[in-house]
Amino acid sequence: MKKNSINFIVTLVLAILLSQFLPWWSVMLASFISAVLIRLKKSAVFFVPFLAIAVFWIAYAFYLSSANDFILAKKIAVLLPLEGNPYLLMLLTGVLGGIAAGISAVFGKQVALVLKS
């Protein structure tokens, strides 16, 4: 449990720092690095970075959208089959970022196993 919390925090902090200087895929780099440094077991390898990045992206999307009263988010949600709901768009954003981070973390664990042997 302690490793899960540490990995969550490390992934979140790395993602926040790297996203200041790199494009959207920096969250994948953050989860890859945290998976190599802090080895998790079984499904936690995928789900801990998934949750960290999903929380980060949902919070960041809410922060950016609230600055303009969700006008752009509502318009984009109309284009997608979300019935104009900006909160579903934010949830979808978090899920997509989480999937990217989770897959990257699984790859990071596999790289760590190869380097170990």
Let me know: does 93 contact 59? Beta carbons within 8 Å.
no
**pLDDT digit string, tens, across residues 46-75:** 999 999 999 999 999 999 999 999 999 999
Quote the crossing angle between the two packed helices 71-79 and 44-66, to the nearest 10°.
120
Residue 85 DSSP symbol: -
CB atoms within 10 A of CB 84: 14
Q: Given this model, what pLDDT does residue 1 score?
A: 75
Quote the crossing angle between the two packed helices 26-37 and 44-66, to the nearest 10°.
150
**pLDDT digit string, tens, across residues 83-116:** 999 999 999 999 999 999 999 999 999 999 999 8
Q: Given this model, what pLDDT does residue 117 score?
A: 82
- Within 13 Å and on the Cβ side, how many CA atoms surround 68? 10
Q: Given this model, what pLDDT does residue 65 score?
A: 95
Q: Given this model, what pLDDT does residue 10 score?
A: 95
Q: Which residues contact 73 (CB under 8 A, 6 or more apart)?
A: 61, 65, 86, 89, 90
**pLDDT digit string, tens, across residues 5-50:** 999 999 999 999 999 999 999 999 999 999 999 989 889 999 999 9
